[in-house]
Amino acid sequence: MPICKECGVSAPRLQWTHFKYKCTGKFENGKEYQDAYPGSEVVDEDLKKKSKVTLETLTNKYGEEEGSLRWDSYREKQSKTNSFEYKQEKYGWTREQFDEYNLSRSATLENMIKRHGEELGLIKWNEYCDRQKYTKSKDYLVDKYGKVEGTKKYLEINKKKSDPHNPKSLAEKLGISIDDAVEIICSRGNYKYTSLLEQEFIKMVENEVGPLDHSSLKNPFGKWCHKLDRYVVYDIKHQDCIVEFNGDYWHANPKFYSESDKIRGSVVKDIWIGEEHKINLAKQLGYRVLVVWENEFLDNKIEVIKKVKKWILKE
């Protein structure tokens, strides 16, 4: 059961009413409390499981027909209350505030560590990645719908998902080159969900060198990599420079991982080979490439930005 680290009270759920009226008065809500005490729980784990709204919990409680109706109603309500129009009308939010709110709620390693602390946050992040990988797999659909129907759904879903973002399909459909197809896909702005740390890094670079030609935040730059048989997107492309901001986990920082380790079901050595192909492609295209690691930036942000500025401006 959660124990308030501010006043010592124990309760199944530490709600905003506790922090505002019954605690020390220092916090207005649970978010402010968790910002001050990173990793602190405000809801008991058993209560979370019991109160979590899912199709499964609703059908178990109300039966398949009534549960499905309640699930559809819940999803419709969530869709409305989570929209920009709703937040703007009710709270007067700007688009920037809405995007910042969504990023703070998103399932990222950074947010997990902020909510649960470094050790538990990493465990929860790995569990989340494994769960996401399974729910998007063929095995999941086969387990849920049976071999024939599950396989059929898997093929349908992946065809529907891949075609609009598949440069080969798009190039063939429009009669253009594969690199032109990659450029079209990148122009759709599908890379807005970068980590908060990468956003900070890019904005700090822009403050030093001015508006960037391309970045993962605006006008992404990508190319088709034949060795990987897919397109790759670079974090920053400015003039003749490529700057990659590599997360320690996602890109398997050699400082923390060995080649035999596994991340998200992939062997680290294979991740490194993929990164090498991506970097070599940029060099073959005539770009100067600089890689910045997450831990390097966290250790000394000012010095890292100075290094990036010198690299880009050839100072």
Per-residue pLDDT, averaged over 158-177, amounts to 73
Q: Which amino acid is at 117?
A: G
Q: What angle do CA 149, 154, 157 make, to 5 degrees?
A: 120
User: What percent of the chain is modeled with pLDDT above 70?
Assistant: 95
Instruction: State whether the Cα torsion 105-107-112-114 is positive or negative.
Output: negative
**pLDDT > 90: what percent of the chain?**
30
The whole-angstrom separation of Cα 219 and Cα 183 is 9
CB 242 within 8 A of CB 282: yes
CB neighbour burial string for 59-80, b if at least 16 within 10 angstroms, e if fewer: beeeeeeebeebbeeeeeeeee
Q: Residues 220-259: pLDDT tens digits?
A: 899 999 899 888 999 999 999 999 999 998 899 999 999 9
314: left (phi over 0), alpha (psi -120 to 50) or beta: left
Give the residue, 310 or 115, on which the prediction is more confident.
310
Q: What is the pLDDT of residue 190?
A: 47
pTM of this structure: 0.51
For 285-306, the pLDDT digits (tens) are 999 999 999 999 999 999 999 9
| d(C-alpha 180, C-alpha 163), whole Å | 16
pLDDT for 101 beyond 80: no
Task: Measure the CA–CA gap between 5 and 39, rounded to whole angstroms.
Answer: 11
Give the residues across from 222 on adjacent strands. 233
Would you state the pLDDT for residue 277? 96
What are the CA-CA distances from residue 211 to residues 202, 236, 241 (Å)? 10, 11, 14
pLDDT for residue 51: 67
pLDDT tens-digit series, residues 15-73 = 888 888 888 888 888 888 888 888 788 888 777 766 677 777 777 788 878 877 887 78
| CB-based contact 263:133 (threshold 8 Å) | no
Tell me which H or E stretch contains 241.
Answer: strand 241-246
pLDDT given for residue 115 in this prediction: 75
Would you state the pLDDT for residue 161? 61
Nearest to 74 by CA among 98, 60, 58: 58
> What is the token pair recorded at 258?
């060995």
pLDDT above 90 (res 129):
no
Q: Does 113 score more than 50 pLDDT? A: yes
Sequence-distant (≥ 6) Cβ neighbours of residue 314 within 8 angstroms:
none
pLDDT of residue 207: 94
Q: For residue 78, is pLDDT > 90?
A: no
Q: Who has greater pLDDT, 295 or 77?
A: 295
Question: Could you tell me the residue ranges of all domains in the chain?
Answer: 191-313
**Residue 216 in tokens:** 């993962």
Task: Name the fold adopted by 191-313.
Answer: Endonuclease; Chain A (3.40.960)
pLDDT bin (cut points 50, 70, 90) of residue 160 is low
How close are the terminal C-alpha atoms of the chain, in Å? 56
Secondary structure E strands in 32-121: none
Task: Specify which residues 224 forms β-bridges with.
Answer: 231
